[in-house]
Amino acid sequence: MAIYTVKQGQLVKAADTLEQFTGRDLIDDYDQLLRSNGFVVAEEQAHAYMRYVRLTGARPSPVLHGIKYVFDVAIDNDSVEYILVTDDLGAYLDVVRMLEPLVNRGIRLEQELERETLFSQ
């Protein structure tokens, strides 16, 4: 796992873990951590990422303060990386652009799985 932020259109590794990034001992269920801090799943791209967005009006939280979007990026079956994005449209669009190859890979994987399912019947 690693935590990244966006600086000048590039990913910058900010920490190895969410605990290290926040300076707090956190639960291992990061999905629950995000939900309890006002984030909801806004989009899921199979085999690529889940995008969380902090709800407007969510109570301020010292955990992930200033973060508007969290991209939970699936590198492989065992590894997840987080990209934390502030309320900055340019940074958000940079991340979406960077993740496009993973989305395309996910689409190809889904198509291959569908073909394998059809041929195995």
pLDDT in tens, 69-93: 999 998 876 778 999 999 999 999 9
Quote the mean pLDDT of the chain: 88
Q: Give the pLDDT band (50/70/90) at residue 4.
A: very high
Question: Tens digit of pLDDT for each residue in 48-68?
Answer: 999 999 998 877 677 788 899
Please tell me the distance from the alpha carbon of residue 48 to that of residue 73, in angstroms, as a whole number: 6
pTM exceeds 0.75, yes or no = yes
pLDDT for position 106: 87
| Ranges 14-28, 58-72, 88-102, most confident | 88-102
The parent domain of residue 43 ranges over 2-119
Count the domains in the chain. Answer: 1
Q: Give the pLDDT band (50/70/90) at residue 117.
A: confident
pLDDT for position 27: 66
Handedness of CA 57, 59, 7, 107 (dihedral sign): negative
Name the DSSP letter for residue 8: T
